[in-house]
Amino acid sequence: MFSRVARLVAVPAALLALAACGTNKTESSASGAACDTTKGTLVVGVVAPLTGNVSAVGLGIRNATQLAVDEANAKCAVKGYKLAVDAEDDQATPQTGAQAASKLAADDAVLGVVGTFNSSVAQVVQPILNGKKIPMVSPANTNPALTRGEDPANPRRPFDTYFRVCATDDFQGPYAADYLVKTAGKKKIAIIQDGKTYGKGLAKEFARKVTADGGQIVDQEQVGETDTDFSGVLTKVKAAKPDAIYYGGEYPAAGPLSKQAAGLGLNVAVMGGDGIYDPKFIALGGKEGDLATSVGAPTESLDSAKDFVKAYTAKNFKDPYAAYGAFAYDAANVVIASAAKTIGDGAWSAASRDALVKNVGSYTGNGATGAIAFDQYGDSTNKVLTVYQVSGGSWKPVLTGAAS
C-alpha cells in the first residue's frame, strides 16, 4: 500500500518548506493559532467490537480514542502532523480481528493501535501488528498470557509491541474470590464459563483463590457464548446447592443466565468479571444482588477522570463511554505522547518504529484512570479493582482497592 506517509516522503523538501508558508496550516490550536500540518496525517488505529452483542463497550473505546485525538490536534501535539482515527470493527471474533489488524498494518501512517476488547481477538492481532512493529495498547484485555506467556511459573513476554493499561485476570479473579468468600461469606460456589480465552482464564484464577480462601467449588460447567437456553446446566448447578454462581464470560450470556437461574428457583447471586459489568447485563436479566468486578476505580468517582467525563459529555457522542472509555482515552494518549516524543521536530517514517515502541514502554503519566506506567512485560502497574453490585436497577460500587 502506498500510504499517506509514503506519498509525503516523495515530495521534495523544498516544496514542503514552501507549503509550510502557505495555506496548509488549517488546524487550530487550543489558543486559536494555526497548527502546522504540512507534513501530513498520521493515524491512531482502533480495533474493537463496533457491532454485535458487545458493541456498547467497543463504541465507547472508539469514541474515547477520538476524543483523545481531537484534543491532541487542538494542542498541535505532534509537530507538523494532523492525527486521525481509523476504527476497525473486529465484531468480537478473532478472524475479523485479524482482518482489521492486517488493514491497519498495511498503512505506514498508523502510529499505534488502541485495542482490543476481547483477549481471544488480541491473540491473533498481536503477531500481525508486531510484524510491522506497531505498538498496541489495550484498554481492556485481561488475560495474563498476552503479556507473560502460557506458563505462569516462567513468565516470558511474547511481543514487545503489546501493552495494556488495565489489571489482569490473575488479579481480578482472586479479588472477586476474596470478596465472595471472605466478605460476602459464600463458601460453596459453582462456576460456569463460556470456554473462550477470557472467560476460561478468569474462572481458573477465581477457582484457585476460592480454594485458597477456604471455599469450595461445588460444580464447574461450560456453556457456549451464543447459548440462550441454560436450563440443562443450571439444573446441574442447582443440584450442587451453591451459595453463589461465578460466571466467566460476557454480559450477552450472563444476563439471561442470571434470569433463568432465578426462574429455576436458584436464588443466589451471579458474579462475574469486567465482561459482565455493563448496563446491558441488567437489561438482559441480571437481577438485584448480582455482582461484578471491573478494573480500576469507578470513573465517575475519580478526580483524575473529571476532565475526561466533562469532555466526553461535551462531544455529544451517541454512545456512553461504558466500562472502558476512560482506559481507551488513556491508551490513546500513551500512543500520542510517545509519537510526539519520537518524532519531535523531525518526520515520521518506518525507521521510527523501534523508537516509538521504546517510548511507549517507558511512558509514565497521569491519566483519567490514574497513574499510567508499564512493567517489564507491558502490563499496567496500576492494580486497582472494584466490586460492583446490582442495586436499584443499576451497578453500584461496593468495594475498591488495590489487588495484591
Per-residue pLDDT of the chain (404 residues; tens, 9 = 90+): 434 553 343 333 333 333 333 334 455 565 567 999 999 999 999 999 999 999 999 999 999 999 999 999 999 999 999 999 999 999 999 999 999 999 999 999 999 999 999 999 999 999 999 999 999 999 999 999 999 999 999 999 999 999 999 999 999 999 999 999 999 999 999 999 999 999 999 999 999 999 999 999 999 999 998 899 999 999 999 999 999 999 999 999 999 999 999 999 999 999 999 999 999 999 999 999 999 999 999 999 999 999 999 999 999 999 999 999 999 999 999 999 999 999 999 999 999 999 999 999 999 999 999 999 999 999 999 999 999 999 999 999 999 999 87
- Give the span between the Cα atoms of 36 and 29, in whole angstroms: 10
- Give the span between the Cα atoms of 256 and 58, in whole angstroms: 21
What topology is assigned to 4-166+301-373 in CATH?
Rossmann fold (3.40.50)
CB 337 within 8 A of CB 171: no
Tell me the pTM: 0.90
Q: What angle do CA 103, 27, 372 make, to 5 degrees?
A: 60
142: nearest Cα among 158, 113, 121, 161? 121
pLDDT in the model for residue 17: 36
Residue 208 host element (H or E): helix 197-212
CB 149 within 8 A of CB 158: yes
Strands 365-367 and 291-295: unpaired
pLDDT in the model for residue 140: 97
CB 118 within 8 A of CB 57: no
Phi and psi angles of residue 110, each rounded to the nearest 5 degrees, phi first: -75, 120
267: nearest Cα among 237, 228, 229? 237
What topology is assigned to 169-295+385-402 in CATH?
Rossmann fold (3.40.50)
Compute the residue count for the chain. Answer: 404
pLDDT in the model for residue 33: 76
- Whether 169-295+385-402 and 4-166+301-373 are alike in CATH topology: the answer is yes
Q: What angle do CA 25, 29, 33 make, to 5 degrees?
A: 65
Q: Which residues contact 322 (CB under 8 A, 6 or more apart)?
A: 56, 57, 59, 60, 61, 278
Helix axes 325-343, 306-314, angle to 10 degrees: 100
CB 306 within 8 A of CB 109: no
pLDDT in the model for residue 224: 92
Kindly list the domain boundaries of the chain, sorted by start residue. Answer: 4-166+301-373, 169-295+385-402
Count Cα atoms within 13 angstroms, Cβ side, for 144. 21
pLDDT in the model for residue 31: 58
- Give the span between the Cα atoms of 359 and 337, in whole angstroms: 9
CB 38 within 8 A of CB 19: yes
